[in-house]
Amino acid sequence: MSIPALDARAMAAAQAELDRKTKPRGSLGRLEELAVRLAGIHGPAEPRFAVVVVAADHGYAEEGVSAYPAEVTRQMLSNFAAGGAAVSVLAREAQAELVVVDAGVREPFEHPGVRSARIGPGTANATRGPAMSREQALASIAAGRELAGDLEGVTAVALGDMGIANTTAAAALHAALLGVPAADVCGPGTGLDARGVQRKAEVVERALAANAPFADDPVDVLAALGGFEIGVLAGVALGAAQRRAAIVLDGFIVGAAALVAARVDPRVVDYMIAAHLSPEPGHRLGLDALGLRPLLELELRLGEGSGAALALPLLRAALAVLADMATFETAGVTDAGR
Amino acid sequence: MSIPALDARAMAAAQAELDRKTKPRGSLGRLEELAVRLAGIHGPAEPRFAVVVVAADHGYAEEGVSAYPAEVTRQMLSNFAAGGAAVSVLAREAQAELVVVDAGVREPFEHPGVRSARIGPGTANATRGPAMSREQALASIAAGRELAGDLEGVTAVALGDMGIANTTAAAALHAALLGVPAADVCGPGTGLDARGVQRKAEVVERALAANAPFADDPVDVLAALGGFEIGVLAGVALGAAQRRAAIVLDGFIVGAAALVAARVDPRVVDYMIAAHLSPEPGHRLGLDALGLRPLLELELRLGEGSGAALALPLLRAALAVLADMATFETAGVTDAGR
């Protein structure tokens, strides 16, 4: 199955309808662009949102690249499902269903609120060879597609991640897929100091060296540099686009998944909405490469889909403006802009 | 009655509580700053929002400074009350009460959904002398204060404006209060071309010349340059701060009201939250002068409080994070950031 083109006729109709609304043409700026794009993605459907948070562990953690120990991945998975994490709260606020996915934390995890899509017990340490096998990379993308297939009636899927050390995986993927030096895409993550950032960049350089040269195949790059949650998220994006749902990107790690998905099928980018700009330096490079402009810039550096969930009210507002505003004609307002 | 200082103890307690939540310290960026400020403004109250849209007509309209005829002010007032305008839709989406106020459209206006706070039938043309009397300026501020006094239990008041030609009044007020040339604060408003912007700047220069010199009294400056809705909005801001409600600023016209209010009582600024940055060039100058940083930058240039209403979900989210997130202790998550 392939990703359909956006519905150009629906987009033109939405723009024409917005131009009849009681406001100067274009005066709602980027909210109007959003409304038009959502019309092209899924038409005038009632908004129904899901936030999909995917967690996995990373061999990079052995290299001391995070301020937090690896067991936090598993602890946070439990916190997501129990409703106490930031994304749990923000998904509720956005009236979005929260789907929590274990793509491979180190120790197997059973929880009624967590969906299992385990590819393995965390990735291998990519500084010594591939983070995963090609088969695992393919399996992670397939698991994500399957997950998206289950999101019946969902018009927008917000993506989130959890995985101690996963900004290192995201940095390595950005470096390899964009062809930029490690130093350009390494930042403090959730709390490194300058020395920690430098160490992270060295780890990324070693991972790139251990796996070079990279074939022009996103699956091989994903296998080399990890991680499982990134592969699953790329799959969710591809699957969501296939079923005409908007894909609301969170920060840097989801950005890496978006780059992988875009290399698998460039048409997926039409369905992507960049929720926010992370302070991680690589995030802007990735969004620029995808041609996406973030909606929010709130210095969020948590991940989990927190920024994606925060942008959902803007989608709802854009759809409401298109559906519910009066036109110049119905409201009896003089239209000077005609 | 005077404006109370922010509750520093509540702010410190909120920051400490945020630091116990299951997330790296500060990782929710500006959302955390917002939560702390709201704690200082009103404490842990259940969020209750109002959007107050105030409309009036302007003598500047005689000078051909708007793409729209003056009767549109009145037509839009009716549209607000009927629920068809952008702000009507966006206030509903934000679960905010919409309060529609007539501060002085040209022809008297009766509508069950419109509150009357008429100061006069539109301002005089400020290029030939004061837009209103000092008594009218004081009455407009008093009417706004009274209005704020009626917003029982409201924790945040989003401000919006309507008035054909009121970007000209706002530009004149910015120029006079900030001491900058008219050309620096004149932009396309809701739809002028470059020649129109130049004409607007000339009109502002004439209004400044006709009323100079300006005393160091914001009421006299307001009286000289208008308009009635701007005075009422300044009063609502002052009254909202007095009763410890957050003031959510919209764009350039509300920004002019904020400048007036801040000159009346600088403590009001502590209660102000800048919802968005308008493309009007003067808006950023005004926010800079107030020391406020906008939350959104979506190229909105409609007014009406549309941008302020769009920012309300961020306030709700900030409060929910503070109230509802689990702590490291309650969730059993390892806290490495201590």
CB-CB: which of B31, B83, B298 is closest to A29?
B298
Q: Which residues pair with B296 in a beta bridge?
A: A296, B276
* Per-residue model confidence as pLDDT tens digits over A224-250: 999 999 999 999 999 999 999 999 999
Catalytic residue among A46, A97, A304, A329: A304
HEC string of A260-305?
HHHHHCHHHHHHEEECECCCCHHHHHHHHHHCCCCCECCCCCCCCC
The mean pLDDT value for B202-231 works out to 96
Nearest to B298 by CA among A254, A290, A280, A293: A293
Q: Say yes or no: B82 contacts chain A, CB-CB below 8 A.
A: yes
DSSP-assigned states of every residue in B247-275? EEE-SHHHHHHHHHHHHH-GGGGGGEEE-
Q: Which residues pair with A161 in a beta bridge?
A: A54
Q: Crossing angle of helices A8-20/A306-324, nearest 10°?
A: 70
Q: End-to-end distance of chain A based on CA atoms, in angstroms?
A: 43
A contacts of B317 (beta carbons < 8 Å) = 89-90, 93, 310
Q: Say yes or no: B76 contacts chain A, CB-CB below 8 A.
A: yes
Between CA A303 and CA A311 the distance in angstroms is 13
CB B282 within 8 Å of CB B185: yes
Q: Supply B182's token pair.
A: 């008219």
Between CA B332 and CA B182 the distance in angstroms is 59
The mean pLDDT value for B307-318 works out to 98
Residues 6+ apart with CB under 8 A from A110: none
In this prediction, residue A93 carries a pLDDT of: 97
Helix (H) or strand (E) holding B5: none
Q: Where are the alpha helices (DSSP H) in chain B?
A: 8-20, 29-42, 71-82, 86-93, 134-149, 166-178, 182-185, 194-211, 218-225, 228-242, 252-264, 281-290, 306-324, 328-331
B297 catalytic per annotation: no
Nearest Cα of chain A lies from the Cα of B157 at a distance, in angstroms, of 19
Reported ipTM: 0.97
* Per-residue model confidence as pLDDT tens digits over B15-39: 999 999 999 999 999 999 999 999 9
The CA-CA-CA angle for residues A198, A199, A202, to 5°, reads 90
Q: Which residues pair with B246 in a beta bridge?
A: B156
> Is the pLDDT at A167 greater than 70, yes or no?
yes
Q: How far is CA B40 from CA A189, B36, B150, B235, in A?
A: 29, 6, 22, 21
Q: Supply A112's token pair.
A: 């009624």
The mean pLDDT value for A133-152 works out to 97
Q: Name residues 113-172 of chain B within 8 A of A (Cβ).
A: none
Q: End-to-end distance of chain B based on CA atoms, in angstroms?
A: 43
Give B44's pLDDT tier (boundaries 50, 70, 90): confident
B contacts of A24 (beta carbons < 8 Å) = 67-68, 190-191, 301-302
Largest CA distance in chain A: 70
* Per-residue model confidence as pLDDT tens digits over B283-306: 999 999 999 999 999 999 999 999
Between CA B74 and CA A331 the distance in angstroms is 12
Between CA A265 and CA A267 the distance in angstroms is 5
| Partner-chain contact B325 A85, CB within 8 Å | yes
Between CA A185 and CA A84 the distance in angstroms is 31
Using DSSP, state whether A3 is helix, strand or coil: coil
Q: How far is CA A258 from CA A154, A253, A268, A281, B184, in A?
A: 19, 9, 9, 16, 41
CB-CB: which of A24, A310, A326 is closest to B85?
A326
* Per-residue model confidence as pLDDT tens digits over A81-129: 999 999 999 999 999 999 999 999 999 878 999 999 999 999 999 999 9
DSSP-assigned states of every residue in B270-326? GGEEE-B--SSHHHHHHHHHHT---SB-S-----TTHHHHHHHHHHHHHHHHHHHPP
Nearest to B102 by CA among B228, B17, B237, B199: B228
Between CA A297 and CA B148 the distance in angstroms is 31
Give A43's pLDDT tier (boundaries 50, 70, 90): confident
Q: How far is CA A243 from CA A11, A41, A87, A217, A237, in A?
A: 18, 9, 24, 24, 10
DSSP-assigned states of every residue in A88-124? HHHHHHTTEEEEEEEEE-SS----TTEEE---SSS--
In this prediction, residue B137 carries a pLDDT of: 98
Between CA B311 and CA A87 the distance in angstroms is 19
| Partner-chain contact B316 A28, CB within 8 Å | no
Q: Name residues 19-58 of chain B within 8 A of A (Cβ).
A: 21-25, 27-31
Nearest Cα of chain A lies from the Cα of B296 at a distance, in angstroms, of 6
The mean pLDDT value for A294-316 works out to 98
A63 or B110, which is more confident?
A63
> Is the pLDDT at A181 greater than 70, yes or no?
yes
Q: Say yes or no: B86 contacts chain A, CB-CB below 8 A.
A: yes
Give A337's pLDDT tier (boundaries 50, 70, 90): low
Nearest Cα of chain A lies from the Cα of B133 at a distance, in angstroms, of 31
B43 or B296, which is more confident?
B296
The mean pLDDT value for B77-84 works out to 96
Neighbours of A178 (CB within 10 A): 15
| Partner-chain contact A23 B321, CB within 8 Å | no
Between CA B50 and CA B34 the distance in angstroms is 18
Q: Supply B72's token pair.
A: 């549109």
The CA-CA-CA angle for residues B252, B257, B261, to 5°, reads 140
Using DSSP, state whether A51 is helix, strand or coil: strand
Give A1's pLDDT tier (boundaries 50, 70, 90): low
- Nearest chain B residue to A192 by CA: give it: B337
> Is the pLDDT at A338 greater than 60, yes or no?
no
Nearest Cα of chain B lies from the Cα of A283 at a distance, in angstroms, of 16
Helix (H) or strand (E) holding A164: none
B contacts of A163 (beta carbons < 8 Å) = none
Between CA B160 and CA B233 the distance in angstroms is 8
A contacts of B68 (beta carbons < 8 Å) = 24, 334, 336-337
The mean pLDDT value for A289-316 works out to 98
Interface size, chain A vs chain B, as Cβ–Cβ contacts under 8 Å: 189
Q: Name residues 256-295 of chain B within 8 A of A (Cβ).
A: 279, 295
CB-CB: which of B21, B93, B333 is closest to A316?
B93
What is the average pLDDT score of chain A?
96
A contacts of B84 (beta carbons < 8 Å) = 22, 324-326, 330-331
Helix (H) or strand (E) holding B54: strand B49-56
Residue A188 per-residue DSSP state: -
Burial class (CB in 10 A: 0-12, 13-18, 19+), A8: exposed
Share of chain A above pLDDT 90, in %: 93
B contacts of A73 (beta carbons < 8 Å) = none
> Residues A256, A105, A94, A298: is their CA dihedral positive or negative?
negative
Q: Say yes or no: B15 contacts chain A, CB-CB below 8 A.
A: no
Q: Supply A225's token pair.
A: 């540099």
| Partner-chain contact B296 A300, CB within 8 Å | no
Q: Which residues pair with B159 in a beta bridge?
A: B52
Neighbours of B132 (CB within 10 A): 27
> Is the pLDDT at B154 greater than 60, yes or no?
yes
> Is the pLDDT at A255 greater than 70, yes or no?
yes
In this prediction, residue A190 carries a pLDDT of: 77
Q: What is the Cα gyration radius of chain A?
A: 20
What is the average pLDDT score of chain B?
96
